[in-house]
Amino acid sequence: MSWRRRIIILGTYGGGNFGNDACFEATLGWLRAAFTNASILAVCADPMITSERFGIPAVSLRVFPPLLPRWLDTLLLRQPSLWLNWWACFGALKRCDLLVVAGAGIIHDFRDRPWGWPSRFLRWILAARLQGASVWFACVGAGPVINPVSRLMMVWAAKLATRRCYRDESSRAYMSARGVDETASQVSGDIAFLLPAPTPSDHGARQIVVGVGIMNYRGWRTNEKIYRAYIESMAHLIEWLKFKGHKVRILIGQRPTDLIAVGDLEARLGYALMSDAEREVRSYQDILNVVADTDLVVASRYHVQIAALKMGRPVLSISYGPMNDDLMRAAGLGVFIHDIEHMDHRALILQCDQLINMRVHYAKVVQTEIKALEAGLHERLRAFISPS
């Protein structure tokens, strides 16, 4: 009888972010191919959604004491929930051989505090090592981590991992600068590139279609001024695209939060941007299908940009972090980057016009670069599983 490996995949899957779920789907396929006899469990944000969609057992990242009001748990300094969650971790990790953290910007504190994601992340990693399991970080994104306590937790968790590879150079450099020995760590590319893509549409001679990604971005720490300026810049861009006679397709990467931003943008413009059917987009695959009907994409969300590049579409990035910039440079589009927190809509429109006029050229550039990136991703993941 052959030994059956028991694997846990840990992440914030099922929480409405299409990119995170795409990373989970790609990770699940990768691990099933690598370990054909494995038993796999997901530890995630929404076990019901994850289990129903992907057909594997799942448990929650955190649990709350039954019958205990949350105000009472807080009054008791969260001790009941703290010890219950440690018990739940050890229970789920019982007889686990390998815990895998793969894809997504997992090492961060975006709109969070130490007792949120950073503490839960460290708890699961530490519990796994205490149980004797190996811990792999595969194709992960890192940084920034603003709060010093959160940063300490994240660095500790990374040091506990037995193997690490990162999706981009900025992530590896970020962790190295914080004292994690990354001399043996590789830069692999994002694991979502493993997923298949639909056949692009053959548009022929017709109206140019521009995909415009809308994100509910309010700064790393909530800043309404940044959000209002972003909505205003996107409104100017869409008005210009409409004036030029181009068709606009709206892309979102997370429900329901990005639909809030779409609603605010529609209020600013005075007309609807999405039909009721278009608002039902719920997955990375849905994004790919929308992108298939475009000629180029202007977007912020990292995995919306990946979807566009996967489909061979030129991208203009409204960047909110080094990960966007690394991705654009890897795709041969390093000149088409705008900082989301310091946007000049006039410069944005000029570059969008340039990309439209040279879309055929840049589509070929993207297709060449992404083909090479995907080949490298497959090679590095094979090496990651069986290091020399």
- Please give the distance of CA 331 from its chain centroid, rounded to a whole number: 17
* Residues contacting 360, CB < 8 A, separation 6+: none
Bridge partners of 6, per DSSP, are 39
Give me the number of domains the chain comprises: 2
Beta bridge partners of 212: 250, 298
At residue 327, φ and ψ (nearest 5 deg) are -65, -45
162 and 221: one domain?
no
Q: What pLDDT score was predicted for residue 206?
A: 78
- Could you tell me if residue 203 is inside a domain? no
187 and 236, same domain (yes or no): no
Do 100 and 247 sit in the same domain of this protein?
no
pLDDT in tens, 113-128: 898 899 999 999 999 9
**Could you tell me if 186 and 214 lie in one domain?**
no
pLDDT at position 73 is: 76
Whether residue 354 is contained in a domain is answered as yes
Final residue before a domain boundary, out of 136, 163, 193:
193
Q: Which residue has the higher pLDDT, 329 or 84?
A: 329
Q: Is the domain of 142 the same as that of 264?
A: no
Query: Does the residue 50 lie in any domain?
Result: yes
Asked if the structure places residue 1 within a domain, the reply is no
Per-residue pLDDT band for 138 (boundaries 50, 70, 90) equals very high
User: Is the CB of residue 318 less than 8 Å from the CB of residue 298?
Assistant: yes
Question: Helical H runs in the chain?
Answer: 18-34, 47-54, 70-75, 79-93, 117-130, 148-160, 169-177, 224-243, 257-269, 284-291, 302-310, 322-330, 345-357, 359-385
Closest CA to 197 of 273, 285, 319, 269: 285
Please tell me the distance from the alpha carbon of residue 90 to that of residue 350, in angstroms, as a whole number. Answer: 55
Per-residue pLDDT tens digits for 331-387: 999 999 999 999 999 999 999 999 999 999 999 999 999 999 999 999 999 999 987
pLDDT of residue 147: 93
Q: What is the pLDDT of residues 52-63, one digit of tens each?
A: 999 999 999 988
Residues 180 and 54 in one domain: yes
Q: What is residue 1's predicted lDDT score, i.e. its pLDDT?
A: 35
Distances (CA, A) of 254 to 170, 182, 222, 225, 260: 24, 32, 17, 21, 10
Q: b/e string for 127-157 if b means 16 or more Cβ within 10 A?
A: bbbebebebbbbbbbbbebebeebbebbbeb
Q: For residue 200, is pLDDT > 80?
A: no
Rounded to two decimals, what is the model's pTM? 0.93
Which residues are CB-neighbours of 123 under 8 A, at least 6 positions away? Answer: 85, 86, 89
Residue 204 confidence (pLDDT): 59
Phi-psi map region of 327: left, alpha, beta (phi>0 left; psi -120 to 50 alpha): alpha
220 and 187 in a common domain: no
What order of strands is seen across the sheet that includes strand 247-251?
Answer: 247-251, 209-213, 296-299, 315-319, 337-339
End-of-domain residue from the set 193, 222, 239: 193
pLDDT given for residue 78 in this prediction: 79
CA distances from 130 to 123, 126, 156 (A): 10, 6, 14
Average pLDDT over residues 124-145: 95
Q: By percentage, how much of the chain surpasses pLDDT 90?
A: 82
d(CA 330, CA 31): 26
Q: Is the peptide bond before 144 cis (omega within 30 degrees of 0)?
A: yes
Lowest mean pLDDT: which of 137-141, 160-164, 203-207, 244-248? 203-207
pLDDT digits (tens, 9 = 90+) for 11-26: 999 989 999 999 999 9
Same domain assignment for residues 122 and 265: no
| pLDDT recorded at residue 82 | 84
Question: What dihedral angle (degrees, nearest 10) is formed by the CA atoms of 273, 278, 281, 284?
Answer: -80
Q: Provide the domain limits for residue 187.
A: 6-193
Q: Which residues pair with 247 in a beta bridge?
A: 209
Task: Please report which confidence band the pLDDT of residue 72 belongs to, taking 50, 70 and 90 as the band edges.
Answer: confident
Choose one of 193, 225, 243: the last residue of a domain: 193
Quick one: tokens of 93?
A: 């990790």
Rounded Cα distance between 318 and 251, Å, is 13
Say yes or no: 43 and 137 in one domain: yes
Asked, for residue 384, whether it belongs to a domain, the answer is no
Contact 136, 46 (CB under 8 A): no
Identify whether residues 177 and 259 lie together within a single domain.
no
- Average of pLDDT values for 29-48? 94
Q: What is the pLDDT of residue 205?
A: 59
Span 118-142, mean pLDDT? Answer: 96
**Which CATH number covers residue 150?**
3.40.50.2000
Question: Would you call 371 exposed, middle or buried from its count of C-beta atoms within 10 A (0-12, 13-18, 19+)?
Answer: exposed
pLDDT score at 76: 78
Beta bridge partners of 40: 7
pLDDT tens profile 264-309:
999 999 999 999 999 999 999 999 999 999 999 999 999 999 999 9
**Which residues are 99's β-sheet partners?**
8, 135
